[in-house]
Chain A
Amino acid sequence: MSNNELTRRGLLRTGAVAGAGVALPTIFTASSAAAYTNEPTGGTVTLGFNVPQTGPYADEGNDELLAQQLAVEHLNGEGDGGCLNTFTSKALKGNGILGKKVTFVTGDTQTKSDAARASAKSMIEKDGAIMINGGSSSGVAVAVQGLCQDAGVIFMAGLTHANDTTGKDRKANGFRHFFNAYMSGAALAPVLAKEMGNDRRAYHLTADYNWGWTQEESIVASTEALGWETVNTVKTPLASTDFSSYIAPVLNSGADVLVLNHYGGNMVNSLTNAIQFGLLDKVANGKDFKIVVPLYSELMAAGAGENIKGVLGSMNYNWQLDNEGSRAFVKSFGEKYGKPPSNSAQTCYAQVLLYADACERAGTFNPCGVAEALEGFEFDGLGNGKTLYRAEDHQCFKDVLVVRGAQNPTNAYDTLEIVEITPVEQVMYPPNHPMFGGDEATLGECNPGA
């Protein structure tokens, strides 16, 4: 395996720039000059799956990893083929990518941007990975996306919901299939209006970091557009484990809806606390008190247990979604692992397939060629329905699901029920939307690492 063409290239380029001053003695020269970082030269191509394996999101990372492994199997023509059969693009043949067998390496992001970059770098530098996929937080996604841009590989984001990933931090080499906070707000708003009316007073608890802020901004904007009033927005420290002191004043504030802009453990605890305080049993301003969790995941639902009953939120995907692609994916994931896929698993699976397909259609692994093939690509059959990879910001546009905690789940997996499939038109926004960095946000140039 020949690695690190990236860095060798870097040297050549720098050498050219800095002139003869930095010429290093040439002992052996590496094999023929590659056109881009980690160009696969043998019979295999290596993908890097960078997911949280330790820390609070380890289970989510594990789910992503299962989906990625499944995708690799399908690409290599093993298993039942999954979505390869339903995908509208028929470029993939089940013989790897461009005839090369797909192998993968894994790493642990630890849900820390430093550690995530370290493990992504090791995949690129040591293992020769040509694409990095996975992750379960926006901080990590933005950090790794920046790294991939510099290194000249493609980054196919995993779970990342902050607007910034394809907003002000968008990168030419980075692509996001997952939806974002703006879409959550846009999709939830009409459902909230329908279920709760247009004269609600909302109280926001927001995780005090980047993602929390963008989500709060998005939800506040879309609910205020409905005519809702925002009573208060309170930032909670990320390290909080107990939210009682934030929940306690809610009832007294004149609010009748609580919006929890929390994710993962934060959300599980804040929702549990809110239920403990009996918020859902109360009547405020003459209306039943309601709780909204704009971003849901299956693991959060499992962690929150019974507490999610009746609580509204949004998701990128849910295994109960009934379309051809979804059925194929759930069948092949469920039969292999004995449980239905989560929405982070689905986004990673789709991203791997999309990448492979783009390589096939471009006829090259060159990141610039792949990016070009992905830009403006319209497809269906991966589970989300009709989807567009927008060229301007590398964000996927597709229907968004509004879900609710089921009242009477029959098993551990149908704790969420789909309330509405918000059509893509409703969640569209212009690429230069102010929440997404406005006119200043640019993708920059695609970097093949050469």
Chain B
Amino acid sequence: MLGLDKKDTSLLVIVAILTLLAPFILNPFPSGSAMAQFNAGYPDLMQRFVIFGIFAIGFNILFGLTGYLSFGHAAFLGVGSYSAVWMFKLFSYNVIPAIALSVVVAALFSLLIGYISLRRSGIYFSILTLAFAQMSFALAYSVLSNPKFNLTNGETGLQVYADDPQLFHRDSLPDMPHLFGLSMRSTYHLDIGAWSFDFNAGYYLCAVIMMVMFYLAIRIFRSPFGMMLRAVKSNQQRMNYTGLNPRPYTLAAFVISGMYAGLAGGLMAAMDPLAGAERMQWTASGEVVLMTILGGAGTLIGPVLGAGFIKYFENIFSKINDNILHQWFSFLPDGFEDFMVFIVHPFIGKGWHLTLGIMFMLVVIFLPGGLVEGGQRLGNWLRNRGKGAAEAKTKQEPAE
């Protein structure tokens, strides 16, 4: 289907089903229950999952295939966001031209930086990209936000003000990013029994775009171009002596991944029309590196999993506080309750970084191939068990 083989088609279908049904899947607990804390099915986080998924998929095209480790990809995400917000400020809140511009600007920017940085390889390349991104960040944060020439609005972040021209804005259109009138914030709210689910227009726009981008990534992975990129990683010497010029291949990969990043940045602005300079900082570049490695560099689905994993921790674990812990453990006797809260306390709320750091280490120590390998191992284990005894499997389920 769609020019993919059976295995890839089923992967794409699974991803499509998961993203389309995400509002259900991510809200497994009844709202109001103690476990509702772990629900992730609200618009903002769902949007972030897919947007960072796109970012990581694109990054993986460069890093996973060619092995070139860029430490400055956040810069492309940042310029994407800035372009989109400028589009909002100058023309209209329609997201299509904004996203298109962010991809184009990111492509140009990555062409420039890639052309220069790819003159070097290995860690020298990494540091060149890092240096460019850090320069972009520093300039965006201060110099480019001076009152005379305010391109980025610095620390506060670029946003739309009432006195912006917005040439094509009409009163009948929503006063926030929209797709031909459909506001990105509009959410359909569904209550089924104790459960509640949100279907958000912005999320579905992002989800559809992510599926397209995922599909394109599969095509790239399976194409002669993708094979050449893997050849770049495997043996550049042989490639050179086989009459192939590695430079344009890596540059193309760099620009493509830069465009993915720009698209992600544009979508972020489309979901929330504010572009902060921190998105370009090295920590943001490092984050996408971690997402990709954590999920499994070079695999198709890994980066998406990695992105989801990190964003989940950032948004869910950071919000758990002692009050919630007391609720969870309230069934225990008082002494035990306090003890459990005491034990868990360092890992939640302000300690979410600690949990994340430990998870990084555990994953990379025990699952060298990242979360994808974990999935594979789990799959194999289940299959083997399934062969063993059917009843063992039924026992298994309630425990999960």
Which A residues are closer than 8 A to B by beta carbons?
1-8, 10-11, 13-15, 17-18, 21-22, 24, 27-28, 30-31, 53-54, 58, 61-62, 104-108, 112-115, 117-119, 121-123, 125-126, 137-139, 142-143, 146-147, 150, 164, 169, 208-211, 213, 235, 237-239, 440, 442, 444
Contacts and interface: CB of A to CB of B under 8 A. Distances in A.
A58 B189 CA distance: 35
A112 B138 contact: no
Contacts of B42: 3-4, 122, 125-126
Given A3-B196, A53-B349, A118-B48, A238 B278 contact: no
A11 B162 contact: no
Ranked 3 nearest A-B pairs via Cβ: A7-B187, A11-B186, A53-B350
Contact of A108 (B142, B181, B185, B318): B318
A444 B154 contact: no
Nearest to B272: A117
A164 B154 CA distance: 13
B191 A30 contact: yes
Interface in B344-390: 349-350, 352-353
Contact of B189 (A30, A114, A117, A239): A30
Given A7-B187, A117-B272, 10 more contacts: A1-B32, A3-B189, A4-B196, A17-B173, A30-B190, A58-B350, A113-B274, A117-B274, A143-B276, A147-B272
Interface of B: 31-32, 39, 42-45, 48, 138, 141-143, 145, 147, 154-157, 159, 162-163, 172-174, 176, 178, 180-183, 185-192, 196, 198-201, 272, 274, 276, 278-279, 314-315, 318-319, 321, 323, 349-350, 352-353
Contact of B138 (A24, A137, A147, A237): A237
Nearest to B181: A18
A409 B156 CA distance: 37
Contacts of A104: 323
Contact of B156 (A27, A118, A142, A208): A142
18 contacts: A2-B196, A3-B31, A3-B198, A7-B185, A7-B198, A11-B186, A22-B182, A62-B350, A106-B349, A122-B42, A122-B319, A125-B44, A143-B276, A150-B176, A209-B154, A238-B141, A238-B142, A238-B155
A11 B187 contact: yes
A402 B205 CA distance: 53
Given A8-B187, A30-B191, A209-B142, A22 B181 contact: yes
A235 B147 CA distance: 14
B188 A11 contact: yes
A1 B31 contact: yes
B221 to A, nearest CB: 30
Nearest to A165: B156
B192 A146 contact: no
Contacts of B32: 1
A264 to B, nearest CB: 13
Contact of B201 (A11, A106, A108, A147): A11
Contacts of B141: 208-209, 238
A419 B157 CA distance: 37
B187 A122 contact: no
A209 B178 contact: no
B315 A122 contact: yes
Q: Which of B155, B163, B192, B319 has the most CB of A within 10 A?
A: B155
Nearest to B39: A126
Contact of A169 (B156, B176, B318): B156
Contact of A21 (B147, B181, B199, B352): B181
A30 B191 CA distance: 6
A33 B45 CA distance: 25
Contacts of B44: 118, 121-122, 125-126
Contacts of A21: 181
Contacts of B180: 18
Interface of A is mostly: helix
Nearest to B185: A10
A220 to B, nearest CB: 14
Nearest to A17: B172
A209 B142 CA distance: 5
Given A122-B44, A211-B155, A10 B186 contact: yes
Nearest to A109: B318
A145 to B, nearest CB: 10
B156 A164 contact: yes
B118 to A, nearest CB: 27
A431 to B, nearest CB: 17
A120 to B, nearest CB: 9
B186 A14 contact: yes
B186 A7 contact: yes
A364 B274 CA distance: 31
A110 B31 CA distance: 27
A22 to B, nearest CB: 5
A442 B162 CA distance: 9
B142 A235 contact: yes
Given A22-B182, A114-B157, A125-B43, A237 B142 contact: yes
Contacts of A137: 155
A164 B159 CA distance: 14
A112 B319 CA distance: 16
Contacts of A3: 31, 42, 189, 196, 198
B142 A143 contact: no
A114 B191 contact: no
A46 to B, nearest CB: 11
Given A14-B186, A125-B42, A54 B350 contact: yes
Contacts of B186: 7, 10-11, 13-15
A210 B176 contact: no
B319 A105 contact: yes
Contacts of B182: 14, 18, 22
A17 B198 contact: no
A105 B323 CA distance: 9
A114 B279 CA distance: 8
A11 B204 CA distance: 14
A354 B185 CA distance: 30
Contact of B350 (A108, A146, A238): A108
A150 B174 CA distance: 11
A351 B321 CA distance: 21
Nearest to A24: B188
B392 to A, nearest CB: 37
Q: Which of B162, B188, B278 has the most CB of A within 10 A?
A: B188
B155 A53 contact: no
Nearest to B189: A8
Contacts of B278: 112-115
A137 B154 CA distance: 13
A14 B181 contact: yes
A7 B352 contact: no
Given A7-B185, A113-B157, A121 B272 contact: yes
Contacts of B159: 143, 146
B277 to A, nearest CB: 9
Nearest to B316: A122
B201 A113 contact: no
A10 B156 contact: no
B176 to A, nearest CB: 6
Contacts of B353: 54
Contacts of A27: 190
A399 B155 CA distance: 29
A5 B48 CA distance: 21
